[in-house]
Amino acid sequence: MFQDNGLRRRWWLYLILSVALIVVVTPFVWMVLGAFKTSSELRKVPPTWLPENPTLENFTSLFSRLSFDTYFLNSTLVAVAVTVGNLLFCSMVGYALAMLNFRGKKLVFGLIMATLMIPGVVTFVPLFVLVANMGLVNTLPGLILPFLVGPFGVFLMRQFIMGLPKDLVEAARIDGAGELKIFARIILPLLGPAMATLGILTFLGSWNNFLWPLVVAQTNDTYTLPVALALYSTGQNQTEYGLLMAGATVVVLPVLVVFLIFQRRFIQGIATTGIK
Amino acid sequence: MSTPTAATTPQEAAVPTRTSRTGGARLEERAGWLLTLPFLLLFVVFTAWPVIQSVFFSFTDIRNKDLRTPFAVDFVWFEQYAKAFADPIFRQAAFNTGYFVVVGVPLTIIVALAAAIALNSGISRFRAFFRLGFYTPVITSIVAVAVVWRFLLHPDSGLVNTVLGWVGIDGPNWLGSTTWSMPSLIAMAVWRNFGTGMIIFLAGLQAVPTQLLEASAIDGANAWQRFLNVVLPIIRPTVLFVMVTTTIGYLQFFEEPFVMTKGGPLNSTISASMYTYQQFSFGNYGFAAALSYLIFIVIAIITAIQFKFLSEKGD
């Protein structure tokens, strides 16, 4: 921002940023290192930094004793289904709202926008009653269906599609292409950046979602990773810290990898759409 | 953000030319609904209907046992709301939520802005690296965060008190003390959330013209004066945007106390959302619905005030 800085000033800046970075990432480093320590080492006072006797036992226990493979699979299935659903349905509506005229369009858009600001806690009670009445408590569809579409995705898609040149659509219409064909052949291929932003945000949101799975998943076979981790981290007579650190690492690593791969697009998307 | 005022549709003008073609408008109408219908079905069932139904629930005494016959329950009108206002735990929860917002929101914004300015200040190398590092807490599951932070804040073997010990400070039992439990959760929330604001501020800072900064530097303005008089006015909309979204998020303060303290010790960290969840899990659905609407009303009022503030300054 301030262009007149000399080397001396930059030196300070790097120092401050480095110290800040260490503070910010210490919990992660601590967590990952802790996952390789034994439980007794984790209880040591003062704490150790590097594992004295590095062990993979915590990770193997997660999968042998606590069926983390099931939770991992559940988390993945739910996140993928929710992401695909949002990308597909929201882009369809986004196109209709941005490029087409149909009766009731304003009503549909108004309805979607009105719910955008309502916090999740408001729909929580009736949604649970609904899902319970449908017999979907403790099922994967019960975890997926309420999140398959959302107002935010529509808003993002509509805004993005409105920025596309309308001539493209008009030209295709003159060539006699139907609206569905225009959507599939012309609009969809142009939605790359919007799809990337919405896709990553939806995936992260679903992967880290905690409250709804906590209520709906009630037995081992439907737990997602955060639910399983939360349940194991509390209410145990003897807390096994090593296991928890390994579990926390398993929860974080996949999204960290996804983020590392897509970070440029992701950060640009967040900056331009301005959302969390 | 996403105000309903953005709903204007510039393509209305296209209608006359379309109707003149053979059935074009009718085809467009059909396509419009065809594309909207799958979304709308799911959206109405799982979002819109529950929103409406929760109003109904908040006026009833529906409980766990009434689950199969949600419309056969008794109407108690405002009884649940009255109960909420008289409930000392809910009052404590409302106070804690206010504490969290009043301290947490400004702290988060200051840290986010400071990080964004530092990253934007002629750091050419390693910028992406720092940005990524600062952003990682945002993408982390709250449960993983809780596991690590509970460990870091452990009174004896925790890293925080160990480091404090090096400089001769005898650290408190952070999460076990009614005085320090909230500050601990706020610190954790700032750590976890400032990355979001930082990214948005970085985008906002791109809009500040460098010539303007150079000119004011030549005129003898120091860094602080330049920030206050040049940068801040230009990024004000961004600041307010981050303020509004952070406030909305923090008013729903739930996950941190839920996974860290269960609301304790002695209800010192219980939040309005968490109390709502608790009542829900006890099966008091009517009461929980009333509480959730109270939270929503507060969010709506505060958001409206912030938006009014945003438009009044004439952007």
State the pLDDT at residue A183: 92
Q: Report yes or no on B118 lying in a domain.
A: yes
Are residues A106 and A201 located together in one domain of the fold? yes
b/e sequence B107-136, b meaning 16+ C-beta within 10 Å: bbbebbbebbbbbbbbbeeeeeebbbbbbb
* pLDDT category of residue B103 using cuts at 50, 70 and 90: very high
Residue-wise pLDDT for B63-97, tens only, equals: 887 777 777 788 899 999 999 999 999 999 999 99
Is residue B66 domain-shared with residue B176, that is, in the same domain? no
Same domain, B63 and B134: no
DSSP for chain A reads --TT--HHHHHHHHHHHHHHHHHHHHHHHHHHHHTTS-HHHHT-SSPPSS-SS--SHHHHHHHHHS-HHHHHHHHHHHHHHHHHHHHHHHHHHHHHHHH---TTHHHHHHHHHHHHTS-HHHHHHHHHHHHHHTT-TTSHHHHHGGGSS-HHHHHHHHHHHHTS-HHHHHHHHHTT--HHHHIIIIIHHHTHHHHHHHHHHHHHHHHH--HHHHHH--STTT--HHHHHHHHHSS-SS--HHHHHHHHHHHHHHHHHHHHHHHHHHHHHHHHHT--
Work out the mean pLDDT of chain B and round it to a whole number: 86
In this structure, is residue A41 part of a structural domain?
Answer: yes
Lowest mean pLDDT among B68-72, B231-235, B240-244: B68-72
CATH number for B115 = 1.10.3720.10
Q: Which residue of B has its CA nearest to A89?
A: B39
Higher pLDDT, A9 or B14: A9
45-64 of A, contacting B, C-beta below 8 A: 45-47
Based on the fold, state whether residues A48 and A76 are members of the same structural domain: no
Q: What is the pLDDT of residue B183?
A: 96
> Is A30 in the same domain as A123?
no
Flag whether A81 is in a domain: yes
Let me know if residue B221 belongs to a domain. Answer: yes
- Please check whether residue A4 lies inside any domain of the structure: no
A193 with A217, same domain: the answer is yes
- Overall number of domains in chain A: 2
Check whether residue B127 and residue B249 sit in a common domain: yes
On whether residue B15 sits in a domain, the answer given is: no
Q: Residue A117 and residue B158: Cβ atoms within 8 Å? A: no
Q: Please answer yes or no on whether A204 and B36 come within 8 Å at the CB atom.
A: no
B45 and B135 share a domain? no
In terms of domains, do B65 and B111 share one? Answer: no
**What's the rounded Cα separation, in Å, for the pair A275 and B245?**
8
Q: Is A180 on the interface with B (CB under 8 A)?
A: yes
Nearest to B121 among A2, A104, A105 (CB): A2
CB contacts of A46 in chain B (<8 Å) are 157, 162, 165
Residues B171 and B194 grouped into a single domain: yes
- pLDDT band per the 50, 70, 90 thresholds, residue A217: very high
B175-204 residue pLDDT tens: 999 999 999 999 999 999 999 899 889 888
Render chain B in DSSP notation, one character per residue.
---GGGG--GGGGGHHHHHHSTTHHHHHHHHHHHHHHHHHHHHIIIIIHHHHHHHHHHTB---GGGTT-TTSSPB-TTHHHHHHHH-HHHHHHHHHHHHHHHHHHHHHHHHHHHHHHHHHSS--TTHHHHHHHHHGGGGS-HHHHHHHHHHHT-TTT-HHHHHHHHTT-----GGG-TTTHHHHHHHHHHHHHHHHHHHHHHHHHTTS-HHHHHHHHHTT--HHHHIIIIIHHHHHHHHHHHHHHHHHHHHT--HHHHHHTTT-STTSS--HHHHHHHHHHTT-HHHHHHHHHHHHHHHHHHHHHHHHHHHHT--
In chain A, residues with a C-beta closer than 8 Å to the C-beta of B24 are 173
Highest averaged pLDDT of the listed ranges A149-158, B17-26, B104-113: B104-113
* B122–A2 CB contact, under 8 Å: yes
Containing domain of residue A44, as a range?
10-54
**Do A80 and A157 fall into the same domain?**
yes
Cα of B144 to nearest chain A Cα, Å:
4
pLDDT, residue A59, reads 92
A251 at B interface, C-beta within 8 A = yes
A138: burial class by Cβ within 10 Å (0-12, 13-18, 19+)? middle
Residues on chain B touching A224 (C-beta within 8 angstroms): none
For residues A251 and A211, membership in a common domain is answered with yes
User: Smallest CA–CA separation between A210 and chain B, in Å?
Assistant: 8
Contacts of A28 in chain B (CB under 8 A): 136, 140, 148
- In the predicted structure, residue A247 carries a pLDDT above the cut 50: yes
Contacts of A259 in chain B (CB under 8 A): 135-136, 139
Angstrom distance (rounded) from CA A90 to CA A157: 7
Q: Which residues of B touch A3 (CB under 8 A)?
A: 122, 210, 213-214, 217
User: Are B117 and A1 inside 8 Å of each other by CB?
Assistant: yes
Nearest CA in chain A to B42: A149
Model confidence at A74, in pLDDT bands (50, 70, 90)?
very high
- Cβ of A267 within 8 Å of Cβ of B131? The answer is yes
Tokens of B159: 């890293």
Mean pLDDT, chain A, whole residue set: 86
Residues in B touching A178 (Cβ below 8 Å):
27, 31
B74, B93 contact by CB (below 8 A): no
Residues A143 and A47 in one domain: no
Cβ-contact B181, B269 below 8 angstroms: yes
Residues B39 and B97 in one domain: no
CA distance A122 to A110: 19
Higher pLDDT, B305 or A240: B305
B112 in the same domain as B38: no
Same domain for A49 and A91, yes or no, is no
For residues B146 and B45, membership in a common domain is answered with no
A24 and A159 in a single domain? The answer is no
Q: Which domain holds residue B136?
A: 88-312
Let me know if residue A108 belongs to a domain: yes
- Same domain? For B56 and B94 the reply is no
A129–B285 CB contact, under 8 Å: yes
> Are both A35 and A104 inside the same structural domain?
no
Find, among B294, B314, B300, the residue nearest to B81 by Cα.
B294
* Nearest beta carbon to residue B38 from set A26, A89, A118: A89
Domain count, chain B: 2
Residue A137 lies in a domain: yes
Q: Are residues B160 and B39 in the same domain?
A: no
Contacts A–B by Cβ distance under 8 A: 347
Identify whether B17 is part of a domain. no
The answer to whether position A1 is within a domain reads no
**Domain contains B164:** yes
List the single best residue of B18, B147, B152, B248 to mutate versus A (max A Cβ within 10 A): B147
Q: Looking at the domain assignment, is residue B168 inside a domain? A: yes
Buried-exposed string A45-69: b where 16+ CB fall within 10 A, e elsewhere: eebeeebeeebebbbebbeeebebe
Do both A71 and A161 map to the same domain?
A: yes
Residues A77 and A170 in one domain: yes
Please judge whether B121 and A5 are an interchain contact, meaning their C-beta atoms are less than 8 angstroms apart.
yes
- Domain containing residue A195: CATH number: 1.10.3720.10
Residues 6 or more apart whose CB falls under 8 angstroms from that of B80 comprise B58, B59, B61, B286, B287, B289, B290
Which residues in chain A are closer than 8 Å to B282, comparing Cβ atoms?
A: none
Report if residue A130 sits inside a domain: yes
Of A92, A124, A226, the CB nearest to B35: A92
The position carrying tokens 């990770």 is A59
Query: Is-contact A148 A86, C-beta < 8 A?
Result: yes
Of B18, B50, B76, the last residue of a domain is B76
B193 and B70 within one domain: no
A95 to chain B nearest CA, in Å?
Answer: 8
Residue A60 distance to chain B (closest CA, Å) = 18
